[in-house]
Each structure stands twice: as structure tokens, then as C-alpha cells.
Amino acid sequence: MCGITGYIGARQAAPILLEGLSKLEYRGYDSAGLALLNGSEMDVRKKKGRVSVLAQEVKKHFFDSHLGISHTRWATHGAVTDANAHPHVSSCGNFAMVHNGVIENYENIKSFLLTKGYTFRSQTDSEALVNLIAYHYYKLPENSENRFLESVRRALLHLEGTYGIAVICRMQPDEIIAARKGSPLIIGIGDSERMVSSDVLGFSGRARSVIYLDDGQIAKVTADSCEVVSANNELVPYVTNSVDWELDSAELGSFSTYMEKEIFEQPKVIENAIRGRISDDASTAVLNGLNMTPSEMRQIDRILFCACGTAWHACLVAENLIEKYTRIPVEVEYASEFRYRNAPLDKNTLAFVISQSGETIDTLEALRESRRKGFKTLAITNSVGSTIARESDGGLYQHAGREIGVASTKAFTSQITICILIALYIGRMRDLSFAQGKEIVGALKALPSAVEETLKLAPELKKLAGKYCKYHDFLFLGRLDEFPIALEGALKLKEISYIHAEGYPAAEMKHGPIALVSPECPTLIFANSGDIFNKVISNAQEIKARKGPLIIVTDSPDRFPEGLADDVVVIPKVHESVRPVVSTIPIQLLAYYIAQQLGCDVDKPRNLAKSVTVE
């Protein structure tokens, strides 16, 4: 969730920290703050609101400091107030800390510290930890080697929960201590300077080489060095990795919002997902990243997909595609449920997890649970070097470029595209003929152009948004592989416009949800060519008979009765394997333009953050 940046080096820290926070604001934007050290003098500034509010406060003062930490918050414990904003300072005033994650036993720690005379100013779990660090620091002999690092290490031994932290100390003005468990933390390496961040974006292009901390690791960071130890205080060797994405991918360019930019990037993103993954004879996919031989793949009897949110909808699309083309049973689990549900799995089960960030805590724990039980577990992720990418047995990178908008768009269609490739790859080993394989490959190659063509509907959907933005409820209906797209359409509308919306299989309407249909509740239904086209039209007629406003998204506008729909959105006719991608574009654009009509901040919707690293 929240964003962390820290800096130590020769340059002024405050402007660098603020720039880093502005890049990370998509991870949390309830409040922001920073703590700076100048020798033994510590200055802490924090404000409720966006990073720009903090920046205005900082501009009122000159801070001559070359070391500092900062944070932009997505609230978990405690209301959104100045006092609950990070950094938190120990009651002695000598330690400041920023924290991502949740400390589950903070109340016990707080109760203990109150008996020792420590005081608390906030409602947060994080303040208990910074005071616990101070407690351990003063218990150690003054001449202890690495006294600051050791006090952090000892404090963390008492914690239950997750954390990514950066801590500074007035008595150690030349180092930052950083640690992680379940919440990402990265160290950026520059020329006689180091940075700490929860995301490479926080480095603002200043670091091209990074160290990824693993769970349980603690780092002492100075301007010229980094020392990493384990929870047992054993020195840990580490490797540095280059950052393989361009900062330009995080810039708006000519677009007004990141969400708009990312919607219109989708033709290129889909092209990137396909590139290098088609066989020379154009009949199948080449997926070396799965790290499985054809004979190993043929032993698979069942496939499990785990994810959260939008990625879970991509899993549902994968279920339809893989079962259709491979005849292998597929199960889709919410990652948050799978990790606690003792699900019986066949010994020949292959597991996939999907996470754009590669850091989604529930999905990460689902991966760990699957591997703990001995199942081969593969990942689809957009983040090279992420925890999920590092801990999986193999997988496929999306190569979609950084997605900044909180509501996922290009990452979703990229995930579906990769799932199509997986279905093709496994299908060609089983039921799909050479000719069928070539047909799907042809559809994949034509997909970027089809999406480009669909994006031309933007003016039409902007006009529709003006008509439908007045409603407070919305239904989205689809069948088979477009039911997940209906779910995604409802989610997008909820996320960024705050309009109540629900997605259902179209035929399920008559089993209860049809009670919601009225002139005040519009329905968007997908009615595309195929075996069940007429049945979907019958479902649409049920809506119309109850005077519900009706939008039909279709590739066959001439096949249903004139006057059935209030509005028709015509999409290109494509092969059924890639149709979920094309069908996604109109619902993204409609949600986007409705939110804009309502004056909502589409890039930073209320109560949401981009990467969910807390339960």
C-alpha cells in the first residue's frame, strides 16, 4: 500500500524525498510526511492530504540535510490525521520511522511500553514499533557494535504481522536502517548516495542498480555502502540488479490522466505480451519462462489460479480458455481465501498466481502455501524483481510498462493475453490441431489492431457517459468468457466513479438480480456472435420488458430486434479466443468517462491504493 522513500548522500534530501513521494503517491494518498537529520538535529513535517500539501509546508523552510526518510500513507490503523501520518517519532525524540504493513500484536507491545514510561501521540500500530526500537537501543551497552541496527533487529523479533520500514536515529546521523517482512523494500545504488524505497519509482530515475531485500532481512545503509543481515544477525551476501524499465513509462506525456494514458497504451502492451512467444511455424506459443518440459506439462491433471481483484477476473477468463482448448479442469480461487482454506488438491495440480505488482500480500502468501504443499507454482506478473517473481518456480512477465493508475486497465488485458498464450501452448500438446493453433495465433497477431480499432469508440462512449452518469446503480451482464468482463466492468465503475454496480452471468438474472431492474438501473450486456447469441438476446429482452435502460456491446448489431437497445456499442468481430480483450475496451472507456463527468479523481480513487501489501 503506502509508499516509502529514504535518501542518504551528498545532495539535499528534502527535494529528492518529495520527488520520490510524488512518484509513489498512487500507493497511498491520505497523508504524507518526512523526517530529516542535520547532524543530531531532527526535523519532522507531516500533513493530512496529498503530497502537494506536504510540499507546500516544506517550501516554507530551508532544510540543510543530506539524510531523510519519507512516506505517503494509505490508512490502516487510525483515522486520516496529521498525528497518524508518518514518520512516527519515539517518545524520547531520538528515532523516526516510516512503516508499510500491519503489526498485529501492537496493542500488547504498546501496553508493555506504557509500563516503561513510553508515551504515544497517534492511534497507529507503527508508533509502537518505533518506541520498541528506542527501548532496545537503550538496553544495549553504549559501546555496542552496530547498536542502531541491533536495536532494530531485536525489536523486530517481537513483531507479528508485516512490515517494510526505514528508521533514522539522532545518534547515528550517517545511516538508515531498513527491513522488510511481507512488504517490499528496495535499496537503490547511486554515486556516493543510496536510496531506500518500497518501489523503484521512488528512486525517480536516480538509481539504475538496486538491491531487493528478502523477508527477514535488515540493512544498514550509508552513502557509500550497504550491509545486510538476517533476523539471526548473520551477514547476508546480496546481488545488485539493474532496473530494466524506463522512467518515461511513468510520465503522462500528452494525456490528462494516467488511466487514460494506460487505456490507450493497450495495443502496444498486447503486442509486447505476444512478442517472442509465437513458434516459428505460427501454430503454438513458446513459453520458456514456465520452466516446464512438454512431458512435465502433459502430466498435469488440474490447474489452479489464484489472484485478487482485477487479476482474479483475468483468472476467470483463463479458466474458460484453458478448459475449452486443453480439456484440463481449472479452479479459480481468491488468493485471500486459498491461503486459509485447506483446499484438497490433486498431486498433479499446476498452480498459477497473477499479480501486476508482484507484491500483493494475499497472492504472495497463496504462492507460498502452494509451494509449501509441493505444487509447481508459476507467476504472471508485471514487475521484474518483485517478491512473487523471485519466489515462484517460473512464470511470464507482462512487459506492460509501469501501471500508475490505481484502477488496472492495461495490466488486465495483458494478463488475459498471456492466459490466451498459455491456453494455446497447453492446448497444442493435447486437443488443438495444427490448423486450430494457427487460427488462434492469427487472432493474437491481429489483436493489437483490433484493440486500436475499438479505442476509436472513445468519442461515442464519452457521449454515452454524459447520458448514464446520472444513475446510482448499474448492472453488467455477460456469458461464458464475457461474464468475467462483466465483473470487471462493474468493478471499474465502482472503483473510479463510486456508482454501485454488479456483474452477473446474463442467464442468472432471473434467479434473483432481475428484482433490481428498473428505469433507474441501466444494464450493459455483452451480446456477441456465437452459439449462445440468441439466448443472450433473450436475457436482454427480459431487461427491456421491465423498462430497464439497456446498452448492448456487440459485434453483430444487425442480428437483434430494432429498438431493443437504448444504445448499441459495436466492436470489431474477432476470433472467440481474443474477444474478452476487445470487449474490455468499451467498459474501461465508459467507466473512465463517467468518472470524469462526475469530477472524480480517476488516478487516485478514494479509499484505494495501487498495490495491496496488507491483509
Question: Tens of pLDDT along 510-522?
Answer: 788 888 888 999 9
Judge whether residue 208 has pLDDT over 80: no
Torsion of CA 499, 505, 509, 510, to 10 degrees: -170
Judge whether residue 249 has pLDDT over 90: no
Average pLDDT over residues 33-39: 92
The interaxial angle of helices 266-274 and 410-429, nearest 10 deg, is 30
Residue 101 CA to residue 181 CA, distance in Å, equals 9
Average pLDDT over residues 474-481: 92
Nearest to 505 by CA among 513, 493, 516, 517: 513
566 and 550 Cβ atoms separated by less than 8 Å: yes
Residue 121: which residues within 8 A CB-CB, separation 6 or more? 83, 91, 127
Average pLDDT over residues 534-560: 88
19 and 204 Cβ atoms separated by less than 8 Å: yes
What pLDDT does 610 receive?
Answer: 62
Most confident stretch, 1-15, 227-241, 456-470: 456-470
Residue 361 CA to residue 353 CA, distance in Å, equals 12
Residue 92 CA to residue 9 CA, distance in Å, equals 26
97 and 126 Cβ atoms separated by less than 8 Å: yes
pLDDT tens digits, one per residue of 141-159: 988 889 999 999 999 999 9
Nearest to 76 by CA among 54, 101, 55: 101
pLDDT tens digits, one per residue of 21-34: 988 877 777 889 99
Residue type, 385: G
pTM for the model: 0.84
Distances (CA, A) of 185 to 4, 163, 212: 8, 9, 7
pLDDT band, very low/low/confident/very high, at 245 (cuts 50, 70, 90): low
What pLDDT does 111 receive?
Answer: 95
Q: Which three cell numbers stand for residue 68?
A: 531523510
What pLDDT does 516 receive?
Answer: 85
Q: Cα 325 to the chain's mean position, in Å?
A: 29
**Nearest 5°: phi and psi at 351?**
-105, 140
b/e per residue, 167-202, with b = 16+ CB within 10 A? bbbbebbebbbbbbbbbbbbbbbbeebbbbbbbbbb
Judge whether residue 11 has pLDDT over 60: yes
Residue 199 CA to residue 261 CA, distance in Å, equals 21
579 and 565 Cβ atoms separated by less than 8 Å: no
b/e per residue, 114-130, with b = 16+ CB within 10 A? eeeebeeebebbbbbbb
pLDDT band, very low/low/confident/very high, at 506 (cuts 50, 70, 90): confident
Handedness of CA 254, 258, 263, 269 (dihedral sign): positive
Q: HSE of 38 in the Cβ direction (CA atoms, 13 Å)?
A: 10
Residue 80: which residues within 8 A CB-CB, separation 6 or more? 30, 31, 48, 73
Residue 497 CA to residue 26 CA, distance in Å, equals 17
What are the extents of the domains in the chain? 3-243, 246-455, 457-603
Most confident stretch, 222-236, 339-353, 539-553: 222-236
pLDDT band, very low/low/confident/very high, at 105 (cuts 50, 70, 90): very high
What pLDDT does 203 receive?
Answer: 87
The interaxial angle of helices 126-139 and 106-115, nearest 10 deg, is 50
421 and 441 Cβ atoms separated by less than 8 Å: no
Nearest to 131 by CA among 97, 160, 82, 100: 97
What pLDDT does 424 receive?
Answer: 97
**Which residue pairs from 437-443 have beta carbons closer than 8 angstroms and sit at least 24 positions apart in sequence?**
437/283, 437/284, 438/282, 438/283, 439/575, 440/325, 440/575, 440/577, 441/278, 441/279, 441/282, 441/283, 441/284, 441/285, 442/282, 442/575, 443/574, 443/575, 443/577, 443/578
Handedness of CA 49, 54, 55, 60 (dihedral sign): positive
For all residues of the chain together, what is the average pLDDT?
Answer: 91
For cell 526518510, what's the residue?
69
**CATH for 246-455, among 3.40.50.300, 3.40.50.2300, 3.30.300.160, 3.40.50.10490?**
3.40.50.10490
pLDDT tens digits, one per residue of 427-463: 999 889 999 999 999 999 999 999 999 999 999 999 9
Secondary structure class of 120 (helix, strand, coil): coil
407 and 259 Cβ atoms separated by less than 8 Å: yes
Judge whether residue 386 has pLDDT over 90: no
Residue 592 CA to residue 79 CA, distance in Å, equals 29
Residue 44 CA to residue 135 CA, distance in Å, equals 21
Q: HSE of 499 in the Cβ direction (CA atoms, 13 Å)?
A: 33
Nearest to 545 by CA among 567, 524, 520, 564: 564
Say which range, 182-186, 218-222, 550-554, has the weakest mean pLDDT.
182-186
Residue 294: which residues within 8 A CB-CB, separation 6 or more? 429
β-pair partners for 550:
523
Q: Which three cell numbers stand for residue 141?
A: 551497552
Percent of the chain with pLDDT over 70: 97
66 and 13 Cβ atoms separated by less than 8 Å: yes
Judge whether residue 247 has pLDDT over 80: no
Judge whether residue 613 has pLDDT over 60: no
Residue type, 384: V
Say which range, 17-21, 260-264, 401-405, 605-609, has the weakest mean pLDDT.
605-609
pLDDT tens digits, one per residue of 282-297: 999 999 999 898 888 8
pLDDT band, very low/low/confident/very high, at 582 (cuts 50, 70, 90): very high
Q: Which residues are catalytic?
A: 2, 610
For the domain covering 457-603, report its CATH number.
3.40.50.10490
Say which range, 52-56, 118-122, 549-553, has the weakest mean pLDDT.
52-56
What pLDDT does 250 receive?
Answer: 62
Asked, as a colleague might, if the bond just before 484 is cis with ω within 30 of 0, I would say no
> From start to end of 27-82, where are the E strands?
31-38, 41-48, 67-73
Q: Do domains 246-455 and 457-603 have the same CATH topology?
A: yes
What pLDDT does 353 receive?
Answer: 97
CATH superfamily of 3-243: Aminohydrolase, N-terminal nucleophile (Ntn) domain (3.60.20.10)
Q: Cα 132 to the chain's mean position, in Å?
A: 31
CA angle 163–166–169, rounded 5-degree value: 130
For cell 512467444, what's the residue?
277
Average pLDDT over residues 226-242: 91
pLDDT band, very low/low/confident/very high, at 611 (cuts 50, 70, 90): low
What pLDDT does 174 receive?
Answer: 94
Nearest to 464 by CA among 366, 356, 593, 336: 593
Judge whether residue 57 has pLDDT over 90: no
